[in-house]
A and B are shown apart, each in its own frame.
Chain A
Amino acid sequence: MDKILRINMSGEVPGFKIEDLGDYEGLGGRALTSAVIYKEVPPLSHPLSADNKLVIAPGLMSGSAAVISGRLSVGCKSPLTGGIKEANAGGQPSQMLGKLGYAAIIIEGKPKSNDLYKLFINKDGVQMTADKSLAMLGNYDLIDKMKEAYGDKIGCMSIGPAGEMKMSAASIACTDTEVRPTRHAGRGGVGAVMGSKGIKVIVIDDSGTSIRAPKDKERFKNANKIFAEGLKKHPVTGEGLPAFGTNVLTNILNEAGGYPTNNFAFGQFKGASKISGETMAETEIARGGLATHGCHKGCVIKCSGIYNDKDGNYLTKQPEYETVWAHGGNCGIDDMDVIAMLDRIDDDLGLDTIEMGASIGVAMEAGLLQFGDANGAIRLLKEEVGKGTPLGRILGNGAAVTGKVFGVERVPVVKGQAMPAYDPRAVQGVAVTYATSPMGADHTAGYAVGSNIMGVGGKTDPLKPDGQVELSRNLQIATAALDSTGLCLFIAFAILDQPETFNAMVELLNGFLGKDFTADDVAELGKSVLKNERDFNAKAGFTSKHDRLPEYFKNEAFPPHNVTFAVTDEELDQVFNW
């Protein structure tokens, strides 16, 4: 990956050029998106203006034979938070862009007309075509149309109607191994930024390319083998995730009393067993779907699946834990088929499932509909958001806007972004990350990726009572580094528990790049990513006051444990003191 495709949508006719990496040499994924945003986007610019940029960057090893290395980063100034954003997605596009040699696509400017463009990228170059017939198509119909035009060996990144309407919850869909638009760069409204650039779809065809060769073949091959074996032998990555998917967490969070129910009112949901990962896997198998499925070629964990309707017809991919929670327990809905339908509609309209579940939860709190009203939730999403009615536009701009419009106090957001499926009062260490991450409330920003063996922050006593701030800091650093490699975060447990698997991962990177990175270098990379992101946000007007949870988490005791959020502001301000 030695080139950048820079597309300028301003001017009479949009144009593009292909550049060398220049200052961005050696960066990939989140490290690259955040570096470009930091360097090239005026922090005070409007997120939907010509000054903002949309950066799409495959991870450093994407397009190679490295297992599970096909994660993609999408960066911009977020219309949802007003700060920097990196949204991460699976699917095929990352591998394909890597094979075509692109370290990044940077889309800048803004078209003068209302034309909607499609981009076609293959080994021979780039074509940009205005195509009004694509306007307001849902992602599923759009991709069918692209397959008719370009065949079924393509990968696509696209926006649905929500992106065209520039809703702050709009996502960018990435197609999966079956060329379905099921994997989304979901968070922060990246789809609205793509919409503001007038781009509906990027079609990628990597035919005629080969996989990226490592610099040190033997070192890479050996490390890849040990790494893959390590993932397969670990009970989480080799058994739990493939068998049940991430939704295996429903029963666990519910049992722990940390499962936010009815818009974060209490921590246990009566219907949890009906929508758990265990129930979902049984249902999928019984209906001829799949409980084990990879979102991109080369994934050896395969945490996903295929969810069929009652008649055995494809409905959607296996919804993830956060989606099942957002549209399920958070809205008092315990019907798996309804949740799967909501997931399908989100994917089709191009919406972040977490943000939409949170918006609907807030709307329920406001009395627009009752908690548990499954048909009402489908109607809101399909008829209001999908059609862009005034109410739909309020909901589609996220939980914070919805709360403000309807006068709701209990709005679970940080920096304007909705919290995921872990209540901050029950799992306060995760809440430290929610509060302080430059991304807004984000459960993946401080993932348990084995910061200890990465050497980040030294050894922390697991049972030391005051370690939450330190742990959150270490995890955020380690996650920022991993997000830059293209490796999926779900490798976490295997590298956390098995030193040989962690070493194989570092060796894999070194064998591929022909470098001799140490764990310290990896930690330094993570710190530099966070520094760019924090500095950008500071220049955009963010202060320590934005690194806070909403007040009600400090005041409202959360059943069944009846605890409030107890980490002090002073402690939160220590997270980035390294």
Chain B
Amino acid sequence: MKIHIIAAESGISFFSSLLNYGVTVKIYGNPSVKDFLLKDLKIKEDYISDRIQTLFLNSKPIDNINNAFLENGAALALSAAMPGTAGALFRKQGRYAAMRKQITYTDNIDVKKNKKGEIILKLFNMPARELADIIFESGVSIEKETLSLFLKNYNKGLEPYIRSIYLDCKKKDKKNFFNKYLKSGFQAINLKATFS
């Protein structure tokens, strides 16, 4: 089942919070993190180099995005530069990277080869707000548990920003749509959102 939401642009920050919880996206082959961001997600190169300063692959901070490769089931998280000593030391190739060397991602091209697969993508803080439109417009899949957790926190905030909702191309009543939908038997939904 596919859900398509047409939402007001002013609601992007509410939708972006969903990206904090993690959404599922497809990968083809074993792209490097750089290629995935640039070619699959279509994020601009200077945004990747300047704005995305903190990245984790399977919870390991990455210093070199050209030499970190995705495989089916991986979890990738993106953040801007963060405050504090912790922020400084998690930053890619930061001056204080040695302070977290025990958990740093070590270049590993020996990933499990796959032709296609899925990864969990999480976006935090500024990248979540700034990239929400392109990520949702290209479509993501969301686990039922994630959606239900998110709606528990945001349901009231979300509805006013939704202009219309389509379920498998059929227009639906937006009132309490998600709550009703959560009661059905699905495990994950495919969600696409367009902001205007």
A residues whose Cβ falls under 8 Å from a Cβ of B: 235-237, 239-241, 243-244, 246, 248-249, 251-253, 255-258, 268, 273-274, 276-279, 282, 286, 303, 321, 422, 425-430, 432-433, 443, 446-448, 452, 460-468, 471-472, 475, 490, 492-493, 496, 560-561, 563, 566
CB closest chain-A residue, reference B88: A448
Query: Which residues between 68 and 84 of chain B lie within 8 Å of chain A, taking CB atoms?
Result: 77, 79-84
CB closest chain-A residue, reference B56: A255
CB closest chain-A residue, reference B58: A560
Which residue of B63, B97, B101, B125 contacts A278 across the interface (Cβ within 8 Å)? B125
Q: B85 on the interface (CB 8 Å rule)?
A: yes
Query: Which residues between 88 and 113 of chain B lie within 8 Å of chain A, taking CB atoms?
Result: 88-90, 93-103
Chain A residues in 8 Å Cβ range of B94? 462
Would A257 and B103 count as touching, CB distance under 8 A?
A: yes
Would B157 and A493 count as touching, CB distance under 8 A?
A: no
Chain B residues in 8 Å Cβ range of A475? 85, 96
Given contacts A282-B157, A448-B84, 13 further A-B contacts (CB under 8 A): A236-B81, A239-B80, A251-B122, A252-B86, A256-B100, A258-B103, A427-B99, A429-B99, A430-B89, A443-B85, A452-B95, A466-B98, A492-B88
Chain B residues in 8 Å Cβ range of A246? 83-84
The complex places the Cα of A496 from the Cα of B61 at a distance, in Å, of 20
Given contacts A255-B122, A278-B124, A468-B101, contact A490 B83 (CB under 8 A): yes
Chain A residues in 8 Å Cβ range of B56? 255-256
Q: B195 on the interface (CB 8 Å rule)?
A: no
Interface centre among B60, B85, B93 (most CB of A within 10 A): B85
Chain B residues in 8 Å Cβ range of A425? 102
Q: Which among B12-20, B27-35, B136-144, B184-192 touches the partner chain?
A: B12-20
The complex places the Cα of A425 from the Cα of B101 at a distance, in Å, of 11
The complex places the Cα of A493 from the Cα of B90 at a distance, in Å, of 13
Chain A residues in 8 Å Cβ range of B86? 249, 252-253, 258, 422, 427, 430, 443
Chain B residues in 8 Å Cβ range of A236? 80-83, 87
Would B85 and A430 count as touching, CB distance under 8 A?
A: yes
Chain B residues in 8 Å Cβ range of A563? 102-103
Given contacts A240-B81, A422-B86, A465-B101, contact A252 B96 (CB under 8 A): no
Q: How large is the interface on B (under 10, 10 to 19, 20 to 34, 35 or more residues)?
A: 35 or more
Chain A residues in 8 Å Cβ range of B93? 462-463
CB closest chain-B residue, reference A460: B95
CB closest chain-B residue, reference A268: B59
Q: B54 on the interface (CB 8 Å rule)?
A: yes
The complex places the Cα of A492 from the Cα of B82 at a distance, in Å, of 11
Q: B8 on the interface (CB 8 Å rule)?
A: no
Main secondary structure of the interface of B (DSSP, over half): helix
CB distance from A2 to the nearest CB of B (A): 35
Which residue of A248, A273, A274 contacts B125 across the interface (Cβ within 8 Å)? A248
Chain A residues in 8 Å Cβ range of B21? 273
Would B126 and A252 count as touching, CB distance under 8 A?
A: no
Would A235 and B101 count as touching, CB distance under 8 A?
A: no
Would B90 and A252 count as touching, CB distance under 8 A?
A: yes
CB closest chain-A residue, reference B156: A286
CB closest chain-A residue, reference B95: A462
Would B77 and A249 count as touching, CB distance under 8 A?
A: no
Chain A residues in 8 Å Cβ range of B89? 427, 429-430, 448
CB closest chain-A residue, reference B98: A467
CB distance from A463 to the nearest CB of B (A): 6
Given contacts A235-B126, A462-B96, contact A240 B103 (CB under 8 A): no
Q: B153 on the interface (CB 8 Å rule)?
A: yes
Given contacts A255-B77, A463-B63, contact A276 B103 (CB under 8 A): no
CB closest chain-B residue, reference A421: B86
Which residue of B83, B85, B95, B102 contacts A248 across the interface (Cβ within 8 Å)? B83
Render B128-170 as a binary contact track against A, CB cut-off 8 A, 1 for contact. 1000000000000000000001100110010000000000000
Chain A residues in 8 Å Cβ range of B95? 448, 452, 460, 462, 496
Chain A residues in 8 Å Cβ range of B85? 422, 430, 433, 443, 446-448, 475
Chain B residues in 8 Å Cβ range of A251? 20, 77, 79, 122, 124-125
CB distance from A504 to the nearest CB of B (A): 20
Given contacts A251-B124, A274-B153, A429-B98, contact A443 B84 (CB under 8 A): yes
Chain B residues in 8 Å Cβ range of A433? 85
The complex places the Cα of A521 from the Cα of B190 at a distance, in Å, of 60
Q: Which 5 A-B pairs have the closest CB atoms?
A: A429-B99, A448-B88, A467-B98, A257-B59, A448-B85
CB distance from A64 to the nearest CB of B (A): 25
CB closest chain-B residue, reference A283: B153
Would A561 and B87 count as touching, CB distance under 8 A?
A: no
Chain A residues in 8 Å Cβ range of B80? 235-236, 239-240
The complex places the Cα of A237 from the Cα of B88 at a distance, in Å, of 13
The complex places the Cα of A240 from the Cα of B87 at a distance, in Å, of 11
Chain A residues in 8 Å Cβ range of B79? 251-252, 255
Given contacts A278-B128, A493-B88, contact A427 B17 (CB under 8 A): no
Chain B residues in 8 Å Cβ range of A428? 99-102
Would A447 and B84 count as touching, CB distance under 8 A?
A: yes
Chain B residues in 8 Å Cβ range of A422? 85-86
Would B102 and A282 count as touching, CB distance under 8 A?
A: no
The complex places the Cα of A246 from the Cα of B20 at a distance, in Å, of 16
Would A561 and B102 count as touching, CB distance under 8 A?
A: yes
The complex places the Cα of A563 from the Cα of B61 at a distance, in Å, of 15
Q: B51 on the interface (CB 8 Å rule)?
A: yes
Chain A residues in 8 Å Cβ range of B51? 235
Would B81 and A256 count as touching, CB distance under 8 A?
A: no
CB closest chain-A residue, reference B97: A462
The complex places the Cα of A235 from the Cα of B126 at a distance, in Å, of 9
The complex places the Cα of A276 from the Cα of B150 at a distance, in Å, of 13
Would A463 and B98 count as touching, CB distance under 8 A?
A: yes
The complex places the Cα of A427 from the Cα of B103 at a distance, in Å, of 8
Chain A residues in 8 Å Cβ range of B16? 278
CB closest chain-A residue, reference B93: A462
- Give 25 A-B contacts (CB < 8 Å), ordered by A residue: A235-B80, A237-B83, A246-B83, A248-B83, A253-B86, A256-B56, A256-B100, A257-B59, A279-B153, A286-B157, A422-B86, A426-B100, A427-B103, A429-B89, A429-B99, A448-B95, A460-B95, A460-B98, A462-B95, A462-B98, A463-B63, A464-B98, A471-B99, A493-B83, A561-B102
Chain A residues in 8 Å Cβ range of B14? 282
